[in-house]
Structure 1
Amino acid sequence: MESTLTKSRNRYFTEEHEAFRQSFKDFLKKEVVPHIDRWEETGDIDRFIWEKFGEMGYFGLVYPEEYGGLGLDTFYTVIFLEELQKINSGGFAAAMWAHVYLAMTHLNAEGSAAIKQRYLVPSIEGKKIGCLCITEPFGGSDVAGMRTTAVKKGDTYIINGSKTFITNGVYSDYLIVAAKTTPDLGNKGMSIFVIDRDTPGISATKLDKLGWRASDTGEIAFDNVEIPEGHLMGEENKGFQYIMQHFALERLIMGVNAHARAEYALDYAIQYMSERTAFGKSLDKFQALRHSVADMASEVEMCKEFNYAIASRLDKGEYVVKEASMSKLLSTKIADQVIYQCLQLLGGYGYMEEYPMARLLRDSRLGPIGGGTSEILREIIAKMVIDKKEYKPAT
């Protein structure tokens, strides 16, 4: 399987990419893997690892050199995401990519020069951790229906409301928050702010989850939180456009994550089958099991090729919201099915915590939910395919 995978990657990944992949794998094996089980148990990732990621430049892959980034192409991000999935902690992976590709994406795209110096630079260095606060307890996937408000008062804004299911929502240093500045305008009255964690009036509660146990997922309340007007990011009332602009990246991230964890599960199952014997022969010699693997490998390869093609287009500046939505919809569905079946291939051992499949199954289940549920994505795709609706980038 590895030789086929290598051939498929050659169209998109250079020798420099592959050298980066190997060095990142080595870094994860040495610096992260020894701590994963403890972080999964405590739900609290030690701060030192963030700074190590920063020191190695992993948080700055796509960001401008003037802020300490490396200005590299999208396929370095793909590698970053793929290898994070293969250490079997969806929670740790989510904490990293939510910081670097959700919170920091908004800082880079909408933040002023002052905001970038104050928040983006230390974020790249791993000295500040960010979270993105959009989803609300009563809104879920209905971003336009959010109730959190930001009322202008002199040279400040007063924030009131709540957010939920926020990755890094408890331990982050700053929050990127969407709020209604002109509620009467609906989704056209939304703005984006950056808020320091220690600002009076912010409280956070850690949520207990089925999977992603290593990450801190929080519900956050804002009670008359007063922030300077300079913490507005971009233009007032353009927040919804900014959010939509970045959803394509978030959905592609979820798609790449899905194909990577499915591939990890499949590789593990194939190795297990080669070593496990029954009725005098190894499991990988039973035709029914072999054909099941063939089906799964085909589906994973199709997802991977599709996701690489989308990443290539995104790298060229194309607006790929339809394709990224399709990627998340199908890749997360296939990942769930593949991991479910791979657990079955391990038999009773698949159900044991000392093997990777139980955690993989729990972590993967969030794929069709987080970042826009599959039901919402189907409606978005249907609007584009049936109703010929065109989603365009923010201007």
Structure 2
Amino acid sequence: MSLINTHGLTDEQKMMREGVLDLLSRHLPWERVRKMDEAREFPHEAYNALAEAGYLGIFYPEELGGMGASYKDIAVFMETLGYYYTGIAQGVTTTAIYAGMHVAKFGTPEMKQDIVPKIVAGKVKLALAMSEPGTGSDVAGIKTSAVRDRDDYVINGSKVWITCAHVADYLVAIVKTDKQARHNGISTILVPTNTPGVTIRPLSMLGRRTTHANEVFFDNVRVPASNLFGGEGQAWKNIMAALGLERMGLAAISAGHCFKITEYARDYARERIQFGQPISQFQVIQHKLADMMIMAETARQSVYRVAELLDGGHKVVQEASIAKIVCTENNFKCADIGMQILGGAGYSNEYDMQMFFRDSRVGPIGGGTNEIQRNIIAKQMDLA
């Protein structure tokens, strides 16, 4: 029995949730997840099945081949993916939100009409190439340069921690077009990964192994000047405009994962016999599970608050940062408590809790660290 309360969702949202879970159970059965995690294999079959069923259109307007769905629809979808398996959730998010939303919002008309329908159909995957070895949280300090040479830009530099770059057909690269400027000196360029001079090196990560991070190197990479989009020097403003949805998506994945972990620990506690009875009958275990449930539901509520505000046309700078913090930190806390409930089994690779623990830890780091999120909240409180 799932612990997620679906009251308040529309009939269509409930149907979508059940449809997604059914599709994933067929194309990404759980025993395969464990093997793919060990092999660091991207869940191509499940990704393609989601695209074929039309689910990747949920992020985009109808004129670009999408559904024109609400933010709450997106929250339900991302929560459901995170509940089933965070790897497939991250695979979808990387292409459809992190990178694809920049194209959909700021791309040239030709670029939008070319790329977005292919994303929806599952024909292309994208990755956002932003972080660099010396500049993680300080995006304005990036060093990767794009120099205009007649009808081209020539790109040189490197990126790191680039999720899913190894399966991407295009990189949405954040580059310096004015080396003397900071925020006003960065631009966005679409780079096909098969362009000469692009090298992608997979990194061995602790968790989210099926959608792992990579290093990306640009060595005199030449792309048409028309591949720069969103306006030269306008990338910072555009990145800021896309953060509400990005952080809501991250939060929704983590909220869904909280429930998965809580259910897994509950089911184990019901079966594990100690002192002649299931450990679920001991109050100390009941309280741990109750704390996990509180954290899962609190996380979920913060996600739907952001979706409600976005659907109402409101800014969500503070609320999105709060949701990102609450959901990702609760996700890791749930996994930590879950490991304690399972005891030795939780620390064993024979059980899934160790994977949940590993996969949850990236949440407070990725997508803007939770320390940066707290800085944002402090600024919104007029403290900085």
From 350, 355, 373, the counterpart of 1:359: 355
Q: Write out per-residue CA displacement over residues 230-268 of structure 1, whole angstroms, 9 at most, x where no aligned residue.
A: 111111111011111112222222221222111111111
Q: Which amino acid aligns with 1:268?
A: Y
Q: Do residues 126 (structure 1) and 122 (structure 2) align? A: yes
CA distance in 2, matches of 1:56, 1:68: 13
Check the 8 A contact 2:84/2:257 in 1, yes or no.
no
Greater shift after overlay, 378-387 or 107-116?
Answer: 378-387
Q: CA offset at residue 46 of structure 1?
A: 5.6
Q: Which residue of the partner structure matches residue 41 of structure 1?
A: 38
Q: What corresponds to 2:63 in structure 1?
A: 66
- For residues 338 and 53 of structure 2, the distance between their equivalents in structure 1, rounded to whole angstroms, comes to 34
The match for 1:392 is none
Q: What SS does the corresponding residue of 2:160 show, helix, strand or coil?
A: strand
Query: Is the 1:201–1:225 contact (alpha carbons within 8 Å) kept by the matching residues of 2?
Result: yes
CA shift, 1:360, in A, is: 0.3
- The 10-residue stretch of structure 1 (111-120 or 362-371) with the greater mean CA deviation from structure 2: 111-120
Contact residue 50 and residue 127 of structure 1 kept, 8 A:
no
For 1:347 and 1:221, how far apart are their aligned partners in 2? 43
| Alignment CA distance shift 1:47-1:297 (3 Å) | closer
Who is 1:224 aligned against? Answer: 220
Residue 54 to residue 358, structure 1, CA distance change in 2 (3 Å): same
1:211 matched to 2:207? The reply is: yes
Counterpart residue number, 1:287: 283
The superposition leaves residues 168-219 of structure 1 with CA deviations (integer Å, 9 ceiling, x where unpaired) of: 1112101101111112221111111111111111111100111111114211
Residues 42 and 294 of structure 1: CA distance in aligned 2, closer, same or farther (over 3 Å): closer
Give the corresponding residue for 2:49.
Answer: 52
- Which of the numbers 132, 139, 151 marks the counterpart of 1:143? 139
The alpha-carbon deviation at position 56 of structure 1 amounts to: 0.8
Q: Is the 8 A contact 2:170 2:190 kept in 1?
A: yes
Asked if 1:192 is matched to 2:203, the reply is no
TM-score by length of 1: 0.92
Judging changes above 3 Å, is the alpha-carbon distance between structure 1 residues 119 and 369 closer, same or farther for their aligned structure 2 residues? same
Residues 70-107 of structure 1 deviation map (CA, whole Å, 9 limit, x = unaligned): 1111222222222222334x333212211111111111
Q: Deviations over 1:34-67 (max 9, x none)?
A: 6423322322326444332221111111212232
Looking at structure 2, the residues matched to 50 and 174 of structure 1 have their Cα atoms a distance apart, in angstroms, of 17
Moved more, 76-85 or 185-194: 76-85
CA apart distance, 1:154 = 1.3
Whichever residue aligns with residue 305 of structure 2, its letter is A
Mapped contact 2:89–2:253 kept (Cα < 8 A): no
**TM-score normalised to structure 2 length:** 0.95
1:305-335 Cα distance to aligned partner (Å, 9 max, x none): 1211111111222210111111112221121
Structure 2 counterpart of 1:302: 298
- Root-mean-square deviation (CA, aligned residues, Å) is 1.7
Residues 280-312 of structure 1: CA deviation (Å, up to 9, x unaligned)? 222121112212222222222122112111111
Q: Does 1:254 align with 2:261?
A: no
Q: Distance in 1 between matches of 2:213 and 2:106?
A: 25
- Residues 2 and 215 of structure 1, relative CA distance in 2, 3 Å threshold: closer
Q: CA deviation at 1:381?
A: 1.6
Query: Which SS does the other structure have where 1:226 is aligned?
Result: strand
Give 1:31 shift: 0.8
AA in 1 matched with 2:332: D
Match for residue 160 of structure 2 among 137, 161, 164: 164
Alignment of 1:108-123 (within 5 A): 108-123=104-119
CA distance in 2, matches of 1:376, 1:47: 33
- The one-letter code of the counterpart of 2:66 is G
Q: Tell me the matched-pair count.
A: 383
Match of 2:79 in 1: 82
Tell me how far apart the structure 2 counterparts of residues 57 and 21 of structure 1 sit (CA, whole Å).
Answer: 13
Corresponding residue for residue 233 of structure 2 = 237
What is the match of residue 88 of structure 2? 92
3-state DSSP of counterpart to 1:264: helix
Note if contact 1:86-1:264 (Cα within 8 Å) is conserved in structure 2: yes
Identity %: 34
